[in-house]
Homo-oligomer: A and B are copies of this chain.
């Protein structure tokens, strides 16, 4: 049984590597490498895998997931610049894939080991990534 809580955060970002030339960054990341950033309404689906607790009928109270999501995801990334404001991306290119890994790690560290975890991140209505952990 899996349960999911969906949360959102609105952030600016830029795709580039500090150790690459402008030409290289442009060639690989195109308009996503705009030096003054662009942004997205990110939608994160947090999927928790576990057994139904026969007492409550819950796998996990989604209020708990919402609170973890608030502290770990929204307070950290909402209305922020991922490249400039967030230590997680100081040396990590904030692609959707890397954002998903960072979110997964942040959530994993706060979640009881008995639960499985995967995340799905919508960057736009046409681009999505899914990460189930390593």
A97 on the B face (CB < 8 A)? yes
The tally of residues in A whose CB lies under 8 Å from a CB in B reads 60
1/0 per position for A1-44, CB-CB distance to B under 8 A? 11111111011110101000000000011111010111111000
Main secondary structure of the interface of A (DSSP, over half): mixed
Asked whether, in the complex, the Cβ of A39 is within 8 Å of the Cβ of B56, the reply is: no
With A1-B100, A5-B127, A6-B126 as known contacts, state yes or no: A39 contacts B57, CB within 8 Å.
no
Listed by A's residue number, 28 A-B pairs whose Cβ atoms lie within 8 Å are A1-B100, A3-B96, A3-B127, A3-B130, A4-B127, A4-B128, A4-B130, A5-B126, A5-B127, A6-B126, A6-B127, A8-B125, A10-B38, A10-B39, A10-B124, A11-B38, A12-B37, A13-B39, A15-B57, A28-B56, A29-B56, A30-B63, A34-B79, A34-B85, A37-B37, A39-B39, A59-B129, A62-B127
